[in-house]
Amino acid sequence: MTTLIASREQTPYSDTTASMQPDPEARHNGGDASESFAQRFPIESARCATASVEGDWVPDREQSVVPQDQAALCKRCDGRATCLLWALAGDEEGYWAGTTTKDREQMRAIGREDIDTADWLQRMARNTDGALHEPGKGGISQYRKNCRCMECRSANTKRRAAERARRAAAA
């Protein structure tokens, strides 16, 4: 590995390397990063750049779901796919493209890095947020144990509707 570094120091930049620079006349400057790494996200076109919403995009402690106002803003943004790719490539922290840092880690782990997967992960997080059980294992018994996830609340709603229908039929 030491010989590789030494050979890099002795080898001048070739025309191929120079063509990768943003300015063909630019050359590497003694170890400093070139301007090609200083590209900025085209934030001017993103909805989050112009709209005011409550909350931080990069909070000290992220929630398991993107806050509702921010999620709604992201869903309407034309640059959402680009934003997601930017966050994935840069290993960014915070809420990007309607995802959390944890969502993007899961996306990398399963090898699916697209908006549909992002939305699916957020739906799952919203449905199981605060759940006292595994996804798909909720129901009225879990609701009685004080689980208030969407799955258990839905089971309770259905049970109560069935009880009201039985009472109405008996009356």
What's the pLDDT tens digit per position in 118-127?
998 888 887 6
CB 143, CB 131: distance < 8 Å: no
3-state secondary structure of 52: coil
* Predicted local confidence at residue 64, as pLDDT: 81
* Predicted local confidence at residue 116, as pLDDT: 93
Q: Give the sign of the dihedral formed by CA 93, CA 95, CA 98, CA 102.
A: positive
pTM of the model: 0.52
In which domain, by residue range, is 75 found?
Answer: 62-128
Encoded tokens for 171: 């009356």
- Residue 76 belongs to a domain: yes
* Predicted local confidence at residue 63, as pLDDT: 83
What total of structural domains would you count in the chain? 2
Residues 85, 118 within the same domain: yes
Residues 114, 77 within the same domain: yes
DSSP 76: T
- Residue 33 belongs to a domain: no
Residues 120, 150 within the same domain: no
Longest dimension (CA), the chain: 94
Residues 117, 157 within the same domain: no
Encoded tokens for 132: 């006292």
